[in-house]
């Protein structure tokens, strides 16, 4: 009997079990995630001019990340801004359904020869490892996908 004079049944105790079940499932899910966090940011040198380097990176990213149907990039879309008056052509990775939102990753180049910077929240996620490996290769002239 409980303090209110009612008999305790299994269904009466179930609400207390729910928070523990949720915590257990959350812990189990977190333990299953073995992906390593990404580098956070990347800075590399290219032997090309900034616009040329970003044109090549943009074409390769479109092919490898988006047109290939890669599951890691399905929730995103690419927004190239190559005609930049600031001298920093860049490529933005934005949410697919909300392209007006803040970019999740920015890849930009500046100078001749170019220095390429990649940064943003997506670069800190496990996807950032793949992005960093691809960008390093593309900056050196490769067009292959990792």
Q: What is the mean pLDDT of the chain?
A: 83
Q: Which helix (H) or strand (E) holds 116?
A: strand 115-119
Instruction: Calculate ∠ Cα 122-125-131, nearest 5°.
Output: 65
Q: Confidence band (pLDDT; 50, 70, 90) for 133?
A: very high
The torsion defined by the Cα of 68, 69, 70 and 74, in degrees rounded to 10, comes to 140
Sign, Cα dihedral of 90, 96, 98, 103: negative
* 70-108 confidence digits (pLDDT tens): 889 999 999 999 987 788 999 999 999 998 999 999 999
Separation of alpha carbons 8 and 42, rounded Å:
59
pLDDT (mean) for 130-139: 95
pLDDT at 31: 46
Separation of alpha carbons 24 and 28, rounded Å:
6
Exposed, middle or buried by CB within 10 Å (0-12, 13-18, 19+), for 33? Answer: exposed
* 19-55 confidence digits (pLDDT tens): 554 445 444 444 445 568 888 899 999 999 999 999 9
Separation of alpha carbons 73 and 121, rounded Å:
14
């Amino acid at each position: 009997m409980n303090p209110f004079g009612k008999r305790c049944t299994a269904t009466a105790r179930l609400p207390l079990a729910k928070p523990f079940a949720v915590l257990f499932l959350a812990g189990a899910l977190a333990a299953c995630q073995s992906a390593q966090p990404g580098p956070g940011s990347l800075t590399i040198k290219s032997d090309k001019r900034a616009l040329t380097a970003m044109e090549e990176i943009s074409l390769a990213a479109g092919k490898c990340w988006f047109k290939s149907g890669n599951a890691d990039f399905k929730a995103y879309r690419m927004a190239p801004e190559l005609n930049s008056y600031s001298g920093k052509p860049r490529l933005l990775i934005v949410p697919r359904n909300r392209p007006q939102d803040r970019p999740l990753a920015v890849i930009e180049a500046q100078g001749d020869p170019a220095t390429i910077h990649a940064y943003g929240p997506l670069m800190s996620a496990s996807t950032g490892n793949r992005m960093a490996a691809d960008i390093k290769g593309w900056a050196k002239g490769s067009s292959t996908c990792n």
